[in-house]
Amino acid sequence: MKVYNVEDTNRFFEVLSECKGDVEVVAKDGRTIPMNDKDVVKVLEAAYTGMMIPEMELRFSSPADSQRVLCFLANTKAAA
C-alpha cells in the first residue's frame, strides 16, 4: 500500500504501532524495513515530526492491519 500526504504523522505512527501483524516500510531501492523494530519507528517519527509524509510504501502481513490504516487515512482526508 502506498500512502500519500499524511499530515497527522503522530497519529499515523500510533495506528501503525497498534497493528497486530508485521508491518514493513518499502525503501525506494526495494528493501523492506520492519516496523516491528522500535528503533526504526523512533527514527521515522523523528524524521517526520511536524512534517507531512509525502509518500511511503507499506506492506502488511495482516489484511486487518491494512484495513485499519486505510480507515485512518480515509477519516483524516474526510475531515480535512
| pLDDT value, residue 78 | 54
| pLDDT value, residue 77 | 62
| pLDDT value, residue 7 | 92
**What's the number of domains the chain is made of?**
1
| pLDDT value, residue 5 | 94
Task: Report the predicted TM-score, pTM, of the whole model to 2 decimal places.
Answer: 0.85
Say which residues have a Cβ less than 8 Å from residue 65's Cβ, sequence separation at least 6. Answer: 19, 20, 21, 23
Can you tell me the distance from the alpha carbon of 24 to that of 42, in angstroms, rounded to the nearest whole number?
14
Name the residue range of residue 30's domain: 2-79
Write out pLDDT tens, residues 28-77.
Answer: 999 999 988 788 888 888 888 888 999 999 999 999 999 999 999 998 76
